[in-house]
Amino acid sequence: MSEAVTWTRDKALALFSLPFNDLIFQAQAVHRRHFDPNRVQVSTLLSIKTGGCPENCAYCPQSAHFDTGVENERLMPLEEVLDAARAAKAAGATRFCMGAAWRGPNDRDLDAVEAMIAGVGEIGLETCATLGLLEAGQAERLRAAGLDFYNHNIDTSEAYYGEIITTRSFADRLDTLAKVREAGIAVCCGGILGMGETRKDRADMLVALATLPEPPESVPINRLVAVAGTPLANAPELDPLEFVRTIAVARIMMPRSMVRLSAGRLEMDDATQALCFLAGANSIFHGERLLTTPNPAVPEDRGLFDRLGIEPMEAAGPAGG
């Protein structure tokens, strides 16, 4: 499949329907045209403002709408953020992603986040933030503070979106993504699999990502972490091979993007993760915690990389996603 393809649902579904081996072979061939197949980029997450979020995303342990045991905390002090960033760098991360459980930041929040971005940049890490919806002028402020990436996910297909979130629309999300792009910040945008969506929804989500005015530099593909107390606590488990297929289709449709094997690795065995790398995933979240839920321990990930002959990627810079 050439890179000039205009992606549609039918074309995406045709990829999903390929025999597994043919799909993975094609995805790996595309991957090798653009990336070293044995290098994986490593990012570390930190929740700088946890819990009490006014939005009602059905998957999220931090929504104030659900009783999940996650407390509403205050914004973390700068020095604690910088300590965490130094520890992440020492453990091998090249990018530090700061997440806040906000609908969006207010201007006073942004003053504090700007100082965090500048400080993390000085430590020598790429900076990423995920703060929710942005108002006019806020993306420019983040860029001026030195922000390299902004994460804002579409989460699922436009058709299924209303089953998952009603407090903000799919169009609101696209509007924030456009503001981020316009401000010259690299875009990190993906979604979650295993929320009860169909394959058609997964195909539509990937088409929406691949047909943005420019595809995102980073595409996080999360597997739902089903958290007790959320409406999706008992969502039916997604077949791991369907998860791998989705990674492969993302790789083929967005050949130059970093595809991140994101939340859900703790619930995946090593063989499934290896298949994800074979299918073209080339980034992970590293460190024992995602935002509020656990992630594999650093020595375990080192062991997995060693067994697979994978080396962590050097900082690629925003152009490299």
Size of site (CB under 6 A) for ligand SF4: 8
Question: If you write DSSP's letter for every residue of 211-227 in order, what string do you get?
Answer: TSSS--SEEEEEEP---
Q: How far is the CB of 292 from ligand SF4 (least distance, A)?
A: 9
Asked if 82 contacts 120 with a C-beta cutoff of 8 angstroms, the reply is yes
63, interface contact from ligand SF4, ligand DTB, ligand SAM, none, CB < 5-8 Å by kind: ligand SF4
53 classed as catalytic: yes
- The residues, any chain, with a CB within 8 Å of residue 141's CB and separated by 6 or more, are 110, 114
Binding status of residue 292 toward ligand DTB by CB under 6 A: yes
Asked if 218 contacts 188 with a C-beta cutoff of 8 angstroms, the reply is yes
Q: With CB under 6 A as the contact rule, which of the stretches 105-113, 136-144, 217-225, 274-282 interacts with ligand DTB?
A: 217-225
Binding status of residue 132 toward ligand SF4 by CB under 6 A: yes
Binding status of residue 217 toward ligand SF4 by CB under 6 A: no
Asked if 190 contacts 202 with a C-beta cutoff of 8 angstroms, the reply is no
Q: How far is the CB of 56 from ligand SAM (least distance, A)?
A: 11
Which of 93, 263, 281, 313 is close enough to bind ligand DTB by CB under 6 A? Answer: 263
CA atoms of 232 and 60, how far apart (whole Å): 9
97 classed as catalytic: yes
Whole-angstrom CA distances from 154 to 57, 96, 192, 234, 285 are 12, 21, 9, 22, 19
Q: Which of 95, 188, 202, 276 is catalytic?
A: 188
What does residue 177 show for φ and ψ, rounded to 5 degrees? -60, -40
CA 8 distance to own-chain centroid: 22
Binding status of residue 156 toward ligand SF4 by CB under 6 A: no
Instruction: For residue 300, count CB atoms less than 10 angstroms from its CB and return exposed for 0-12, middle for 13-18, buried for 19 or more.
Output: middle
292, interface contact from ligand SF4, ligand SAM, ligand DTB, none, CB < 5-8 Å by kind: ligand DTB
Which of 26, 127, 246, 262 is close enough to bind ligand DTB by CB under 6 A? Answer: 262
CA atoms of 249 and 13, how far apart (whole Å): 9
189 classed as catalytic: no
Indicate the residue among 60 and 219 with the shorter CB distance to ligand SAM: 60
CA atoms of 254 and 251, how far apart (whole Å): 5
Binding status of residue 93 toward ligand DTB by CB under 6 A: no
Which residues ranging from 46 to 75 are in contact with ligand SF4 (CB under 6 A)?
53, 55, 57, 60, 62-63
Whole-angstrom CA distances from 302 to 94, 124, 312 are 15, 22, 9
Q: How far is the CB of 66 from ligand SF4 (least distance, A)?
A: 9
Asked if 55 contacts 132 with a C-beta cutoff of 8 angstroms, the reply is yes
CA atoms of 185 and 6, how far apart (whole Å): 25
Which residues ranging from 54 to 73 are in contact with ligand DTB (CB under 6 A)?
61
Which of 48, 101, 221, 248 is close enough to bind ligand SAM by CB under 6 A? Answer: 101
Residues that bind ligand DTB (CB under 6 A): 45, 61, 97, 99, 130, 151, 153, 190, 220, 222, 225, 262-263, 290-293
What residues are labeled active site?
Answer: 53, 57, 60, 97, 128, 188, 260
Residues that bind ligand SAM (CB under 6 A): 59-60, 99, 101-102, 130, 132, 152-153, 155, 192, 222, 224-225, 227, 263, 291
